[in-house]
Chains A and B, each alone.
Chain A
Amino acid sequence: MIEPYDWSGGREAMLRFGPGSGPVVIAALPLFDEANRMRAFAVTVLRTLAETHGIAGVLPELPGTGESLVPSERIAISDLRAGFAAAARTAGGRAYSMGMRSGALLDGSVVIRHRWHFAPQPGDALLRALRRIHRTGDAPGYGGHRLPDTFLDELADCHVEPARTLRLEGDTRPADRLVAGSALWREPAPANDLALAALLADDLAGWVRACEA
């Protein structure tokens, strides 16, 4: 179900799954190209969370990303965070975040009770990745996105809040749990991984229940 939400800079849309009450998981996709590769996967996780575990979820379109009316030339971390917090408030209930990759940069709001991250990417790492793509000269701007300097400056110091953290096996950074699967955010073409989606939904459901208890 598609619903609107209002934030201080305008109106955006969000996809809603599951019951209209109780805890609600607010999802943040990675920024830029990785969002295209992970959208179907994130939707599968939210759908499984709703249908198998009876937990609500929303996937907001954030200002300056995806189908947003705000162009990427005007993207700002503060707006992305404000949009995410507004979506959480609009969703109602007790909000939990699900941040994937650089989506984990966007849930630093007091509206969020607890945070859950999958393979989080800190701001400085995203900045390095964007600059590297920029230097290949394959597409104008940063992989086809024109980004303001203010955004790139902000990214360098953009941190990930403490969260329950899951990573793929083979990732050597600290994690609460390592899971088997492939890095969908790197696949040459968008793909899905139903087994991994079910596993993440299961982990999220157990974690939300533990936080609620």
Chain B
Amino acid sequence: MLEVETTVRGVLRDVLGLSDDRVAAFEENTPLFGALPELDSLAVAGVLTEIEDRLGILIEDDEVDGEMLESFGTLTRFAARKVLG
């Protein structure tokens, strides 16, 4: 889980162009979609693709909704569930 969290943090930093300090401060309840202006639809596509690449998982379109992208915690838990299969 910690490894997945580190990877998701790194993906958000790279795709959204955020500083190390900013992503280091992300917590379970830090809101993402709707709260980060950098996270537009194209950036969402980049985040999903990069998470897929780095964690070796596949994310289907119908799994992507507002809830999954709601907070750092929901996105990380979604990715961790995928990794565990």
- Which residues of A are in contact with B by a Cβ distance under 8 Å? 121, 125, 128-129, 132-133, 135-136, 138, 168-173, 182-183, 186-189
Contacts and interface: CB of A to CB of B under 8 A. Distances in A.
A188 B7 contact: no
Contacts of B55: 172
B52 A125 contact: yes
Interface residues of B, number: 27
Contacts of A133: 42, 45
B10 interface: yes
A170 B38 contact: no
B56 to A, nearest CB: 5
B62 to A, nearest CB: 12
A128 B10 contact: no
Interface in B58-74: 58, 61
A138 B15 CA distance: 17
Given A170-B6, A188-B38, A136 B52 contact: no
10 contacts: A128-B52, A132-B45, A132-B48, A135-B45, A168-B54, A170-B54, A186-B15, A186-B46, A187-B14, A188-B43
Interface in B36-55: 38, 41-46, 48-50, 52-55
A117 to B, nearest CB: 13
A125 B49 CA distance: 8
A109 to B, nearest CB: 25
A136 B56 contact: no
